[in-house]
Structure 1
Amino acid sequence: MLKTLSNKSNLQVLYEDNHLIIINKRAGDIVQGDKTGDKPLSDVVKEFLKDKYNKPGNVYLGVTHRLDRPTTGIVVFAKTSKALPRLNKMFSDKKVNKTYWAVVKQKPQSEKDTLTHWLKKNPRNNKSTAYNHEIKDSKKAILHYKIIKALNNYYLLEINLETGRHHQIRCQLSSIGSPIKGDLKYGFDRSNKDASIHLHARKIDFIHPVSKEQVIVVAPTPKDPIWDACTN
């Protein structure tokens, strides 16, 4: 069972200025509130900002994108109403470059490849299915991957998304026989002890929506033997 791990005293802040704050999300944190009723990361960040700047009243914070609960890594929040719509447009216009790392046990057939599928989400079990052709209510999904390191029994993949679909990386890697370590939902044979999966939003690269300067942020991987082996 995933537990929310972040609080205002242990938040992993990777970048902050007047308009943005970028967090390294832990497995278990939900970015926005959902039916579980667990405190979302957005509320934790608001508490952090309220304390840090001794702000009276409510703190403004805009959610620009999400990460799945068992996934770790970079999440960008807008601190101003000026930055939020600009960031939202940048994400929708694919002006934000996001790089993910994923650990798989089954080596993909190709060292690097582009995967194209049509994904259909089933809201009943919150799971997507990949098809090799378009079907009703499916959405085209494209990602690029390459193997960047061979570990003992595992492989580290670097992934860049062309589209942002529901569970896209998890579903597409599973569809080629390489489910992500710990991802029971998409076919890995056992869960991780903390119910996380080895999928990490590693890097983000974009032009700041207000200052127009380039922002590049890299998120340290979680502390565990396999992630440590990826960075050593």
Structure 2
Amino acid sequence: MFNPESILYEDNHLIVVNKRSGELVQPDTTGDPALEDEIKAFIHVRDDKPGNVFLGVVHRIDRPVSGAVLFAKTGKALTRMNELVKNREIRKIYWALTENRPQQPEGELVHHLVRDGKTNKSRVYDRPTAGSKEARLRYRLKGSGTHYHLLEIELLTGRHHQIRAQLSKIGCPIRGDLKYGAARSNRDGSISLHARSIEFVHPVRKEPLRITAPVPQQDNLWKFAETFG
């Protein structure tokens, strides 16, 4: 069930929630509950709204990933936010706990990804290939523990499983991400990738917003990583 305490920001036009790992953003073929429907139901009751509640998904994050997800509450806001997405005017910062430390403490990764629908994975190439799309991100090492390393990542393009695939390509699989080479799974089925913050100009009020999502508090390793914040 949707927990209203997960709301990070809300006004008449937008709502940002801190998604838990395992939650779906939108309904899929599993038929499992999805945030989109749960937030609609919550607003319908809370605001005593007659009829259907409008809610548009501005961007998605993978089911095993936690963190900030942005929805539009009006058609006007959704149209304008979609333009920001198209023009790459939304800054997205992720945190990842990786099994290995990158060779360089910071840098920009540029690869070419091909989505494989049969395996639901993205294959990574150093050069353009048939059906590939360019994938770019910047990363910075924020701190290291005994076994894991905290990377801060700025997503410059939005490709399927981009961060997971690119970090795996450089030998730094994300903790718990068996699909992309992690040594072991996390107990709760999550992967240690968190949509930490989202930054953009409000589509109606035209003022800058930066919304930060706390890390999963039930995970002591995440809580330790946040001390590097």
C-alpha separation in 2, matches of 1:105 and 1:127: 20
Aligned to 2:152: 158
Q: Does 1:225 align with 2:208?
A: no
Residue number among 141, 162, 177 corresponding to 1:183 in the alignment:
177
CA contact (8 A) 2:139 2:153 kept: yes
- Whole-Å separation in 2 of the counterparts to 1:24 and 1:92: 23
Quick one: which of 140, 145, 151 aligns to 2:139? Answer: 145
Map of 1:128-139 to 2, 5 A cutoff?
A: 128-139=122-133
Number of residue equivalences:
226
CA gap 1:9/1:173 in 2 versus in 1, 3 angstroms? closer
The answer to whether the 8 Å contact 1:114/1:142 transfers is yes
Where does residue 3 of structure 1 map in the other structure?
A: none
1:29-48 map, 5 Å: 29-48=23-42
Q: Is the 8 A contact 1:8 1:47 kept in 2?
A: no
CA distance in 2, matches of 1:185, 1:104: 14
Q: How does 1:78-157 map to 2 (within 5 A)?
A: 78-157=72-151
> Secondary structure of the equivalent of 2:107?
strand
| TM-score calculated relative to the size of structure 2 | 0.97
Q: Structure 1 residue 210 and structure 2 residue 187: aligned? A: no
In structure 2, what is the equivalent of residue 65 of structure 1?
A: 59
- Partners in 1 of 2:126 and 2:59 — Cα distance? 27
Name the amino acid aligned to 1:147.
L
CA drift at 1:152: 2.1
Question: What CA distance in whole angstroms lies between the structure 1 residues aligned with 2:67 and 2:85?
Answer: 17
Code of the aligned partner of 1:157: L
- Identical residues among aligned pairs (%): 50
| Matched residue SS, 2:75 | coil
Structure 2 segments unaligned to the other structure (5+ residues)? none
Structure 1 residue 8: deviation in Å? 3.2
Distance 1:26 1:48 in 2: 17
Give the aligned residue type for 2:133: K
Shift of 1:48: 1.3
Structure 1 stretches of at least 4 aligned residues deviating more than 4 Å after TM superposition: none
Q: CA deviation at 1:150?
A: 1.1
Question: Gapped runs of 5+ residues in structure 1?
Answer: 1-6
Q: Deviations over 1:183-230 (max 9, x none)?
A: 000000110001000000001110000010111100000021110101
> What TM-score do you get using the length of structure 1 for normalisation?
0.95
Deviation at 1:13, TM superposition (A): 0.1
1:28/1:111 CA distance change after superposition, 3 Å: same
